[in-house]
Structures are given as structure tokens and as C-alpha cells.
Amino acid sequence: MGARGLVLGIVGGVATILALLLRAAEPALAPLLRLWRLARLRARVDGTVPVTTQFDGAVETSGRLRLELGAHCRLGRRVFLETCEGGRIRVGDHVRINAGSFVVAYSEVLIERDVLIAEYVSIRDADHGLSAAGLVRQQPHTAKPVRIGAGAWIGRGAVVLKGVTIGAGAVVAANSVVTRDVRPMAIVAGVPAKEIRLRDGAPASPGPRAGANEGETAGATQR
């Protein structure tokens, strides 16, 4: 065996030993890791983060965060939460926000109890102004509150724009862009999202309801 093979063998052996040690220590370290993540989020929050909060990984924030988190919520890896210009995020009990999702509030984002939010969802209650008189990035944000009703399910990669109310028990299909209100128990899909049917099998409504927000498609703000 050459010197290179000897070195690779030693490195492989050390890696195996470390893996076995980590596997044995993981049950003991898991509570400490959860405690660290809880303390880390609480240090950044003006509001409430209950001790019952579960973490799949570290939660990312930008600056101080105005957050009211309900009991028994679970936050996925790399979830990003941000509140700007007096905005706040309110989350009910038993809410699941999966990996890579963004929730950003300039006014208010309200997520009621038992909501399930899949991976890489974007929920933002504001977008930039679009006046031709100046650069988009230099224009102030326009904000309208977002509300997601109890028991709703937001599918992977969906985008929820400002001013939208998603009714209780509604389902938003993966990769949809929600630009107007969604009825309770409705299933919506597409860009922009349109009602397919109700969960009880009733047919879709004939068209947009009065006061709908369709056309507000710039809300997935990137800064």
C-alpha cells in the first residue's frame, strides 16, 4: 500500500470512529441543541416563543423580530422570518412551517392554528412601488395584511401576496401564486391561483369575487 492509500485508510478510519461517537451521543445532545435553538430565537424576538416550539434546524431572522408564536409549533430548517417598519407576525397553535419558507411582514401576517406550510413557501404582505419616476428598489413598500385561516395547507413553493386572505381549511397547490382571496375549504392552483373545487366536491365558483386582489403580482419582493 502506498503512502496515499495509507493516509486515506487512516482518514477513513477516523471518520468511522467519529461517526459512531456522534451516533451514540446524538440522543443526549438533541435536547441541548433544541434548547440552544429556542434560546437563540428568543434572543432575537420581541414577543413570544413558547418552550413547546420544535425546531428541525436553526431559524433565520433579520434584525429584531416582532413575533407571537403559538404553542406546539414546528419550524423547519432555514425558515426565514422578518418584520419591517412596524410589521408583525402572529402564528397560532400547532402550526408547521417547513424548510426554506419565508414569512415577511411590513404590516401583519396572521397564520391561524393548525396551518400546514410546505417547503420553500413565500408569504409577504408588501411589495415595492412601481412608479416610472424612479428605480423600483428606491420606492417605498406598499403593505396590506395577509391572513391564513385555521387548518389551511399551503403547498410547496407557493407564493402568497399582500392583502390576501386564505380561508379556513383551504388548500393551495404547489407552485401557485395567490393574488386574491381564497374561500374556506377551497382548492386553488395556478399562476395566478384559481379555484378548482371545494374539498367537499362542490364545483368551483364561476369567477373572481367582488373585491378580489387579482393583478397584484409583484409582491414576492427581493431586496
Tell me the pLDDT tens digit for each residue of 57-102: 999 998 899 999 999 999 999 999 999 999 999 999 999 999 999 9
Active site residues: 128
Instruction: Identify whether 101 is part of a domain.
Output: yes
* Per-residue pLDDT, 29: 64
Grid cell at residue 191: 399562476
Grid cell at residue 120: 420553500
Whether the per-residue pLDDT at 184 is higher than 70: the answer is yes
Q: pLDDT tens, 114-163?
A: 999 999 999 999 998 888 888 988 888 899 999 999 999 999 999 999 99
Number of domains into which the chain is organized: 1
Instruction: Identify whether 112 is part of a domain.
Output: yes
Read off the pTM: 0.81
Instruction: Identify whether 173 is part of a domain.
Output: yes
Instruction: Identify whether 17 is part of a domain.
Output: no
- Answer for the pair 31, 52: CB distance below 8 angstroms, yes or no: no
Average pLDDT over residues 167-182: 97
* Per-residue pLDDT, 210: 35
* Per-residue pLDDT, 216: 41
Which of 197, 101, 196, 218 minimizes the C-alpha distance to 148? Answer: 101
Q: Residue 45: pLDDT band by 50, 70, 90 thresholds?
A: very high
Grid cell at residue 92: 397560532
Whether the per-residue pLDDT at 218 is higher than 70: the answer is no
Instruction: Identify whether 218 is part of a domain.
Output: no
Host H or E run for residue 31: helix 3-44
Whether the per-residue pLDDT at 32 is higher than 60: the answer is yes
Instruction: Identify whether 18 is part of a domain.
Output: no
Q: Outline where DSSP puts E strands in 76-203.
A: 80-83, 88-91, 96-97, 102-105, 108-111, 116-117, 122-124, 126-128, 141-143, 146-148, 153-154, 159-160, 165-166, 171-172, 177-178, 186-189, 194-198
Q: How far apart are CA 19 and CA 17, in angstroms?
A: 5
Instruction: Identify whether 3 is part of a domain.
Output: no
Share of the chain above pLDDT 90, in %: 65
Q: pLDDT tens, 2-12?
A: 777 777 777 87
* Per-residue pLDDT, 125: 96
Instruction: Identify whether 172 is part of a domain.
Output: yes
Average pLDDT, the chain: 88
Share of the chain above pLDDT 70, in %: 91
What range does the domain containing 164 cover?
Answer: 51-198
Question: Which CATH number is 83's domain given?
Answer: 2.160.10.10
* Per-residue pLDDT, 165: 98
CA 72 to each of CA 64, 92, 98, 130, 132: distance values in angstroms, whole numbers, following the listed order: 22, 9, 14, 40, 46
Host H or E run for residue 6: helix 3-44
